[in-house]
A and B are shown apart, each in its own frame.
Chain A
Amino acid sequence: MESVIRNRAELEHVQSARLVNMVNRVYQSVPFYRQALDASGVRPESITGIADLTKLPFTTKADLRDNYPFGLFAVDMKQVVRIHASSGTTGRPTVVGYTKDDIEIWAELAARALTYAGVGSDDVIQVAYGYGLFTGGLGMHYGAERIGASVIPISGGNTAKQVQLMQDFGSTVLACTPSYALYIAETLEQMGIDPAVLKLRVGIFGAEPWTEEMRRQIEARLHLKAIDIYGLSEIMGPGVACECTCQDGLHLYEDHFICEIIDPETGEQLPDGEPGELVITTVTKQALPLVRYRTGDITKLTAEPCSCGLIFRRMSKVMGRTDDMLIIRGVNVFPSQIEAVLLSIEGIEPNYQLVVDRKGALDDAELWVEVPSTIALDEVRRLESLSKRIDQAIQSTLGLHLRIKLVEPQTIPRGAGKAQRVVDKRSLYTTSKEG
């Protein structure tokens, strides 16, 4: 069992000791890190605590791919007891390994996530995450067994059977992706099964970004409390962070993962409250320790105390990916932020397109918003006040003024069901900026 950390000071003490140990370990046993540290002129002994974290270089997904499959492993294969891998949709898969102790810690953290989500030994957990190379299924499985719950390792798919077991075995917890949860809800409706007759009470949903609106829908349609869990195989798998029953941000398990938010452009560390890219240093992992791994996930952190009692900082729901980010007049903008702003404005649906152009030396950004087809608007001033409300909400969220253009419904092109959210005409003339 792990020792109890009572406050932030104790946490930082533990983090510092673990970081020093980890940096020395990777310097000794991973040639990639030895070279990376040498190249940045960092001696391992100059890292004496978490205050020195920013001296260390970043690790990226590309580094994992370049060292495919086991190049970044810090232990002998004899000590590796498990291998997982990403699907590798864009090239080689990302391969991760675990020692016996890594699996042990993973089970402990997944168990912690479940416990603070209100799941216990009386629960029957239907694990509908995929089992296999994907970390979701086995990660939840070990955590659920650790807390003594009854685990149904059904894996993903075969929805009719999912529903049948839910009825027959009285599953109280459903663990799967939020989109699959919605699919199960639809299936229940089609089969004419009232979710109220099921025993479901908690959902542990993750492995993909989802919105508060999706949460409301899932909760209403499956009659359960929907908890957001975060994880990525490079770091561990599910259980890197998870919401407690307060459902107000995901506690990052900072005793094992040192977390930072950085400006994805400059790499500068950002203070709590500011959105940026989540960067994680795994301080207890043995097989695949990663130094300042850039997750590509955009979120923000808060250190505000939480009523659940956990002292770990909370991250907001993932707002987007760095891959989707664009920079307008020096401000980082994510399509998901715009979507969230539009969702918050009554009477507007998030059907939009951001058109960015360059006029002279200045970026010119226009936000096209479709006027919903049945909104009651018979006066120009109502439309003007609608534009103004959108403009003000965007300004207060992004700190950026976008010209709002109201357009007729169905004007924004939708290719294969998915709308094109950003049209960046600037790339036509500039070659200096990548991607």
Chain B
Amino acid sequence: MSVRQVSVFLENKAGRLAEVSKLLGAAGINIRALSVADTSDYGILRLIVNDPAKAVETLVQHGFSASETEVIAVEVPDKPGGLGFVLEVLEAKGINVEYMYAFVAKASEDALVIFRVSEPAEAKQILHAAGINVIPAEKLYTL
């Protein structure tokens, strides 16, 4: 099962982020990781949660624009040059990284990074072949 990120459109106005957390909390959804990309008018909140489908449903019901995007969760060696190595592996095979952000919890000694790439299935194979660990959704959601 691939990892699904929840992307939420947010206008830049007070209380929107709090509203999202509140709604998800009330629905029993746990936020595992998040990042925000923003402009002066609006932002996109990206979330990794334990139940992405339910999160999208809850948010849309409450008037948010939310959708799921496939991402990959990669174990990056927690040492200098660790991230660089992963990026090199992807770049060498022509996989484009759109954006990435760190995951708070760890599955092992290595750091966990969420990657949004152009070809998720292909990227997973490439990383695997290079000896880099990709965490499946089942495991990630319960970390």
Contacts and interface: CB of A to CB of B under 8 A. Distances in A.
A340 B44 CA distance: 28
- Counting contact residues on chain A (CB < 8 A from B), the size range is 10 to 19
Nearest to A382: B44
A372 B65 CA distance: 6
A378 B46 contact: yes
B11 A408 contact: yes
A375 B37 CA distance: 17
B41 A406 contact: yes
Interface string B49-69: 000000010001001111111
Contacts of A376: 7, 67-69
Contacts of B11: 407-408, 411
A364 to B, nearest CB: 15
Contacts of A409: 63-65
Listed residue (B43, B63, B65) with the most chain A CB atoms within 10 angstroms of its CB: B65
B65 A375 contact: yes
A409 B39 CA distance: 18
A298 interface: no
- Counting contact residues on chain B (CB < 8 A from A), the size range is 20 to 34
A163 B61 CA distance: 37
Contacts of B63: 373, 408-410
B85 interface: no
Given A372-B65, A408-B63, A377 B7 contact: yes
Contacts of A383: 9, 39, 42, 44
Contact of A373 (B7, B66, B99): B66
A383 B43 CA distance: 10
Contacts of B60: 373-374
Interface string A407-418: 111110000000
Contacts of A411: 11
Given A372-B65, A383-B44, A408-B65, A377 B9 contact: yes
A372 B116 CA distance: 22
B10 interface: yes
B65 A380 contact: no
Interface string A237-263: 000000000000000000000000000
Contacts of B98: 379
Interface in B30-88: 37-39, 41-44, 46, 56, 60, 63-69
Contacts, number: 63
Interface in A374-408: 374-380, 383-384, 405-408
Given A406-B42, A408-B11, A411-B11, A380 B64 contact: no
A409 B63 CA distance: 6
B64 A373 contact: yes
A101 B10 CA distance: 65
Contacts of B64: 373, 408-409
B67 A377 contact: yes
Given A383-B44, A406-B41, A378 B5 contact: yes
Interface in A347-382: 371-380
Q: For chain B, what secondary structure do more than half of its interface residues adopt (helix, strand, loop), or is it mixed?
A: strand
A408 B19 CA distance: 13
B9 A374 contact: no
Contacts of A378: 5, 7, 44, 46, 67, 69, 116
Contacts of B42: 383, 406
Contacts of B5: 378
Contact of A374 (B38, B41, B46, B66): B66
Nearest to B70: A378
B9 A406 contact: yes
Contact of B65 (A377, A384, A405): A377
Contacts of B68: 376
Contacts of A407: 11
A215 B116 CA distance: 41
Nearest to B11: A408
A64 B5 CA distance: 63
Contacts of A377: 7, 9, 44, 65, 67
A379 B9 CA distance: 10
A406 B5 CA distance: 22
Nearest to A410: B63
A353 to B, nearest CB: 14
A374 B44 contact: no
Interface in A43-72: none
A341 to B, nearest CB: 20
A405 B67 contact: no
Nearest to B37: A380
11 contacts: A373-B65, A377-B7, A378-B7, A379-B37, A380-B39, A380-B43, A383-B42, A406-B41, A406-B42, A408-B10, A408-B63
Given A379-B98, A406-B41, 15 more contacts: A371-B9, A371-B65, A373-B65, A374-B65, A376-B7, A376-B68, A376-B69, A377-B7, A377-B44, A377-B65, A378-B5, A380-B38, A408-B9, A408-B63, A409-B65
Interface of B: 5, 7, 9-11, 16, 37-39, 41-44, 46, 56, 60, 63-69, 98-99, 116
Interface of A: 371-380, 383-384, 405-411
